[in-house]
Copies of this chain bind each other. A is one copy, B any other.
Amino acid sequence: MKASSASALEFSLLGLLRHQAQSGYDLRRTFATTPMRHFSDSPGSIYPALRRMKARRWLNASGANGNARKRQEFAVTSAGKRALVQWLRQSVTREDVIWRLDQIMLRFAFLDGNVDRSVTHRFLDQFELELAAYLRELREHDKAFGPELRSSTGYLAFKSGIESYQTHLLWARQTRKQFQEAIP
Is A44 positioned at the interface, with any CB of B under 8 Å from its CB?
no
Nearest-Cβ distance from residue A125 to partner chain B, whole angstroms: 15
Closest to A15 in B: B154
> By the criterion CB–CB under 8 Å, are B35 and A158 in contact?
yes
Q: Are A153 and B110 in contact (CB under 8 A)?
A: yes
Stretch at the interface among A21-29, A58-66, A161-169: A161-169
Copies of this protein, total: 2
A141 touches B34 (CB 8 A): yes
Q: A156 an interface residue at 8 Å Cβ cutoff?
A: yes
For chain A, what secondary structure do more than half of its interface residues adopt (helix, strand, loop), or is it mixed?
Answer: helix
User: With contacts A35-B141, A141-B34 known, is A109 near B153, CB below 8 A?
Assistant: yes
**A161 pairs with B112, CB closer than 8 A:** no
Query: CA–CA, A27 to B37, complex, Å?
Result: 33
- A34 to B, closest residue via Cβ: B141
Contact of A171 among B105, B141, B163 (CB under 8 A): B163
Whether A112 pairs with B153 at a CB distance below 8 angstroms is: yes
B158 touches A98 (CB 8 A): no
Q: In the complex, are the beta carbons of A153 and B108 less than 8 A apart?
A: yes
Contact B151 A109 (CB under 8 A): no
Contacts of A156 in B (CB 8 A): 108-109, 175
Asked whether A4 is an interface residue with its Cβ less than 8 Å from the other chain, the reply is: no
Shortest Cβ distance from residue A8 to the other chain B in the assembled complex, whole angstroms: 14
Chain B residues with CB under 8 A of A175: 156, 160
Within 8 A of B (CB), among A134-184: 138, 141, 151-154, 156-161, 163-164, 166-168, 170-171, 175, 178, 182
Q: List 11 A-B contacts (CB under 8 A).
A: A34-B141, A35-B161, A105-B161, A106-B157, A108-B153, A108-B160, A112-B152, A120-B153, A151-B178, A159-B171, A164-B168
